[in-house]
Chains A and B, each alone.
Chain A
C-alpha cells in the first residue's frame, strides 16, 4: 500500500520536473521605434562623479533641444553592483534602460546574454569613427558585428619614485630584465619598500609580462578560441612575473593575495619603489604621500626600447536590444561618445579618449597623459572576444594560476596547463 503511493509521488514529481522549466525572460528585440518619449540611460557612478554629471548634462540638454518631445532620464549606477543591475535589466526588459555604459571586457558576454543591440550599420555610417583606434573598435566587436561605441580607454604603465631612484643612483629600466634587477636593488637598499609592488590577483598587471614574451591568453577568431596560456612563450612570461614574488622584491606571503588596487594603494602610500598603475590611478596617486615624487614611463618590453603590450581596458556605451526608441537611442549613444564629449570628459574626469586624434590633442595639454598615450600607440592587447571570457574572468582562472605558481603549489608548466584546460572547457561550453 505504502510503496506504490510513494512511487506514484516520485513519478508525479519527475513528470512535474520535466514538464516545466525554470523561469526565463523573453528578451526579444523590440520592433518599436518611437520618435518621442523618455529615454532611460544608465551610466557608472565614479568616485567624484560631479564633473562627469556636468558633461553628461550638457550633452543631454543639447539632445533634448534637438528632439522635441524627448526626455532623457540619466541614472548613475554604483560600479560594485553593476553586474546584478545589468543582469536584472536583461531579465526584465520593462525596467531596462535604453542606453547603458558597460565595461569593455563584458561586451561578448552581454551579446551572448542577448542584451545588446547590433549597431554595425550606424557605427559605419558615423563619420567620426574613422579615427576610432583599432583596439577600441575591437572592444565593441563580436563576430564582426559592432555592439556599442567606445567611451574611453584605460591603460597601465610603470610608476616609479623619482626621489628613490635619485638617492640610489638608479636608471629608469629599459628592459624587463632591468626592471626586475632595479626592483631588487631598491628592496636591498630600502628593506621597508617593495621594489616593484606586484599582486597575485592583479591579472592586468601580470598579462603585459606574458604578452611581452610573445605569449597570448588565447588564440582564434570569432566563435572558436583555444587557450594559449600554456605555450612556451606564455610560460616564460608567467615565470618572469611570478619570480618577482620573492623576499628580495615583494614577499609572496604579502603580495600573493594583492589585487591591482592594493598595489596602487601601496605605491601611493610610499611603500614601493615602483608599481604598475593605470592612467585612472593618477588621481589616487596624486592624493597619496608620493605626490610630486614620482614619474611614469611605459612598461619596458623584453628588448631595450620596446614597450610591453598593455591591456586596453575601458568602457563602452551601448544600446539595449529591448529599447522601443531605436533611432533616438543610437543617436544619443553617438552624442555621448562623440569626439566633443570625449574631449570634455577627459578634462572633467581624466578618461582617455578612444579617438586617436583627440587623444593626441589632450596629451599635448596634459603631460601626465604622455606615457599612457605612448603605451597605447605602441600597440595594446585585448581579452578574447568570447562570451566565455566573463566566466573565465569571474571564476578567477588566471589569478588562481599565478597564485599557484607564487605559493609554490604547482610549477609554471602544471599551473598553466590547468588554466588552459579550464579556459578551453569554458570556450567549449560557451561557444
Chain B
C-alpha cells in the first residue's frame, strides 16, 4: 500500500452491521457446506456411530462419475431456460398490456397477478395438480381428454410444472417491468408513434433498450429462481416423477442429502449449484459491461 491513499475505515464502519449479518447467515453456512462436501458425512458419522474421514475431492468424483447427475443437470438447465424465457415473455407482454387497458381491467389483471404471486408454492402446486387430475380435474373434462394422465410422460409432466412456475413467477416480472414502462417519458413513446412504429417495433427499439437495467435484474432473478426450483417439482411429480424422470438438481440434492442421509454428497451438489449460478450471473454481468452498459 502506498502512503498516499490512506485507507479510510469509515465506510467499513457503516457496512459492518450488514457484513456481520451476511457473514453469519451466508458465509458461515456456505463454509459449512463446502467443508462437509470434502468429508464422508452420512448419518453414521453425524451420530457418532463411525468416525468421519477426509475424502478430498472424493464426493465430487463420485458425483461427476454418476450418469444420473449429468442427466439431471442437463434437464435442470433446459427446464430453467424454458421457465425463464416463458416467464419473461408472459410478464413483459402483460406489462405492456397493462399500459394499454382501462382502469378496471387493469385493476382486475393486477389483482389476479398479485393473487398468484401471494399463493404459497405448495398450495399453488397442489391446486394445479388437482386441475390436471386424470379422474377429478376440470381441465381434462373441458378439453375432453378422458382420463389422460399429465404426470406420466416426462415432457408432459415438465410442461405441467412449467405452467405452474410461470404462473407464480410472472407477476414479479410484470409488476417490475410495468413500473419501468411508467417511468419512460411519454414524449419518447409519442415520437415513436408519430414515426409510425408498430407495437412490436416500439417494444424492440424504444422500450426494451430503455428498460435494459430492469430486464437484466428480472432475468438474473428468474434464472436463479428457476434453476433452484424445488417445491413445484417435489409436489407435482411426487419427488421426481416416474423412475426419477423429472428430477432437477435441487430435488436431486435433497434426495441425496436428506432422504438417503448422504449429507456430504448433497453438499457437493449444493456447491456445484452455487458455482454454476455464480458463473452464470458473473458471466452475464460481464457481457453487459463489455457492451458498454453500466447497470
* Interface residues in chain A, defined as those with a beta carbon under 8 Å from any beta carbon in chain B: 17-18, 20-28, 87, 90-91, 109, 112-115, 200, 251-254, 256-257, 387, 390-391, 394-396, 399-400, 403-404, 406-407, 409
Please, which residues of chain B bring their CB within 8 A of the CB of A87?
43, 46-47, 261
12 A–B contact pairs at CB < 8 A? Answer: A18-B54, A23-B46, A25-B47, A27-B47, A87-B47, A87-B261, A90-B46, A91-B48, A253-B152, A257-B151, A395-B255, A404-B243
Report if A114-B48 is in contact (Cβ < 8 Å); known contacts: A391-B261, A407-B243.
yes
Q: Once the chains bind, are B47 and A113 in contact (CB under 8 Å)?
A: yes
| B39 interface hit (Cβ, 8 Å) | yes
Q: Is B34 an interface residue (CB 8 A)?
A: yes
For A18, the closest partner residue in chain B by CB is B54
Count of chain B residues near A, Cβ 8 A: 35
A114 touches B243 (CB 8 A): no
**A407-B242, A407-B243 provided; 8 other pairs, C-beta below 8 A?**
A22-B39, A24-B45, A25-B47, A114-B48, A114-B50, A396-B255, A399-B243, A406-B242
The answer to whether A396 and B39 have CB atoms under 8 Å apart is no
- Interface contact B39-A21, CB-CB below 8 Å: yes
Are A24 and B244 neighbours in the complex by a CB distance under 8 Å? no
Q: Which of B35, B49, B148 contacts A114 (CB 8 A)?
A: B49
Complex-state Cα separation, A25 to B43, whole angstroms: 11
Q: How many A-B residue pairs have CB under 8 A?
A: 102
Residues of B237-261 whose CB lies within 8 A of A: 238, 242-245, 255-256, 259-261
> Once the chains bind, are A257 and B134 in contact (CB under 8 Å)?
no
8 Å CB contact of B242 from A20, A21, A109, A256: A256
A25 → chain B closest CB, angstroms: 4
CA distance A257 to B47 in the complex (A): 34
Q: How far is the CB of A260 from chain B (nearest CB, A)?
A: 14
Q: Chain B contacts of A26 at CB under 8 A? A: 48
Measured between beta carbons, the chain A residues less than 8 angstroms from B48 are: 24-28, 90-91, 114
- Chain B residues with Cβ below 8 Å from A28 are 48
Contact (A22, B32) CB under 8 Å given A253-B134, A253-B152: yes
Whether B149 and A113, one on each chain, are in contact in the complex, defined by CB atoms closer than 8 angstroms, is no
CA distance A251 to B134 in the complex (A): 12
* A257→B238 CA distance, assembly (Å): 8
Q: CB distance A254 to B134 under 8 Å?
A: yes
Complex partner residue of B44 from A112, A394, A403, A406, CB under 8 angstroms:
A112
CB nearest to B135 among chain A residues:
A254
| Contacts known (A87-B261, A391-B262, A394-B259); A113 close to B49, Cβ less than 8 A | yes
- The distance in angstroms between the C-alpha atoms of A200 and B43, with both chains bound, is 28
B145-167 interface with A by 8 A CB criterion? 147-149, 151-152
CB distance from B20 to the nearest CB of A (A): 20
Chain B residues near A17 (CB-CB < 8 A): 34-35, 38
Q: Hey, which chain A residues are within 8 Å of B45, CB to CB?
A: 24
* Chain B residue nearest to A395 in the complex (CB): B260
Instruction: Report how far A224 CA is from B152 CA in the complex, Å.
Output: 37
Report Cα–Cα, A254/B50, bound state, in Å.
Answer: 43
Which partner residue on chain A sits nearest B51 by CB separation? A24
| CB-based contact A22/B41 at 8 Å | yes
- Interface flag for B84 (CB, 8 Å): no
Q: How far is the CA of A132 from the CA of B261 in the complex (A)?
A: 32
Nearest-neighbor residue (CB-CB) of B241 within chain A? A257
- Chain A min CB distance to B23 (Å): 15
Q: A87-B46, A395-B259 are in contact. Are A254 and B147 (CB under 8 A)?
A: yes
A403 to B237, CA, bound (A): 14
Given contacts A253-B134, A257-B151, contact A21 B34 (CB under 8 A): no
Q: Are A407 and B152 in contact (CB under 8 A)?
A: yes
Known: A28-B48, A400-B243, A403-B242. A22 touches B43 (CB 8 A): no
User: Which B residues touch A115, using CB under 8 A?
Assistant: 47, 49
